[in-house]
Amino acid sequence: MNNQNISKKILYWYDNNKRFLPWRKKVSKKKREYYTLVSEFMLQQTQVKTVIPYFVSFIKKIPNINSLAKVKNETLMRYWEGLGYYSRARNLKKTAIKILKDYKGRLPSTTEQLKTLPGIGDYTSRAIMAIALNKKIIPLDGNVERILKRVFYLRREDEISKEYLNNKIHFFGASSRASDYAQAIMEIGALVCKPNNPLCAKCPISLNCISCKKNDFVVRTKNKFNITKYFEARIYQNNNKYLLIKNNKFNFLKNMPIFPMSEVEEKKYKYSNSKKINIKLSNMDMKIILNKIDKLPNIKNKILLKHANTKSIILPSFTKKIFKLVRKIK
């Protein structure tokens, strides 16, 4: 089967099976650019089903690039609350400002230009080029990677590198409906060529898939380098008020309220009898000791917050998880 027939089969499947996603609505070209920009930032490290309600709410409150560039940071953080990784929101606003300043409010037209914008790397630039600007590019996300690994039955370490997989993207060919085509391939990965129990009977390219013929669907992945770090969080409470500080320790929570904490050695964590909490991030496994202190430390940028008022300010999920446990600490 040639590439043209493959693209036709994939697009036919997509036209009949695609999900309704709010950023796929038929809108003007300018609005599509904005919808794609916002959704791609939200989808970085967050699943589609989680993003949907946040995207709908966000677009209602900040409907275009101009309003995004002008929104107050505190307001922006409030609209982003619950999605986590707040640096994405800050970068999204910085990108909007730069687009208005340097590109007259429209997305730049090359991946190189897009990658100069805050928060946009190789994948996001390619996704924006394909989806928003209808360029003949197939972004290599996890879904597309999985399809290629199964179609070509890739098993060796050198075969699962991004460089190798990028050289295999030619399998899909191209389509004049580049935006739909890129989304169609990703949609097949999400709905059909799933990590577990792929639905080969519903797959438009199953006849081209070596894994399907072999009935072997294991997908090899590269080991992600996740580090484990140990911390001690100091819990000060007085008159039902808890001490928080504006974070300057973790870039992903910049200026967000957190409990005061410092890094400790593994053995201190291991042998501590205090209550503990484990927080998993995309690149770090944080193991935290929760220790109550009696004296208010002399710390800059401190906040004293009542437990009952935790919903009145924006708190990262990181801090909320600790708040759930602090009342149990003696």
Look at 138-147, 158-167, 188-197 and tell me which has the smallest mean pLDDT. 158-167
What secondary structure, in 3-state letters, does the chain show? CCHHHHHHHHHHHHHHHCCCCHHHCCCCHHHHHHHHHHHHHHHCCCCHHHHHHHHHHHHHHCCCHHHHHHCCHHHHHHHHCCCCCCHHHHHHHHHHHHHHHHHCCCCCCCHHHHCCCCCCCHHHHHHHHHHCCCCCCCCCCHHHHHHHHHHCCCCCHHHHCHHHHHCCHHHHCCCCCHHHHHHHHHHHHHHCCCCCCCCHHHCCCHHHCHHHHHCCCCCCCCCCCCEEEEEEEEEEEECCEEEEEECCCCHHHCCCEECCEEEECHHHHHHCCCEEEEEECCCEEEEEEEEEECCCCCCCCEEEEEHHHCCCCCCCHHHHHHHHHHCCCC
Decide if 3-214 and 227-326 have a common fold. Answer: no
CATH fold of 3-214: Endonuclease III; domain 1 (1.10.340)
Catalytic residue among 33, 40, 145, 187: 40
- Let me know if domain 227-326 sits in CATH 3.40.50.720: no
State residue 316's pLDDT score. 78
Over residues 39-92, the pLDDT tens digits come to 999 999 899 999 999 999 999 999 999 999 999 998 999 999 888 888 899 999
Q: Where are the domains of the chain?
A: 3-214, 227-326
Q: Look up the pTM and report it.
A: 0.78
Q: Quick check: is 40 catalytic?
A: yes
State residue 206's pLDDT score. 95
State residue 252's pLDDT score. 65
State residue 327's pLDDT score. 67
Which tops the pLDDT comparison, 260 or 136?
Answer: 136
User: Is pLDDT of 134 > 70?
Assistant: yes
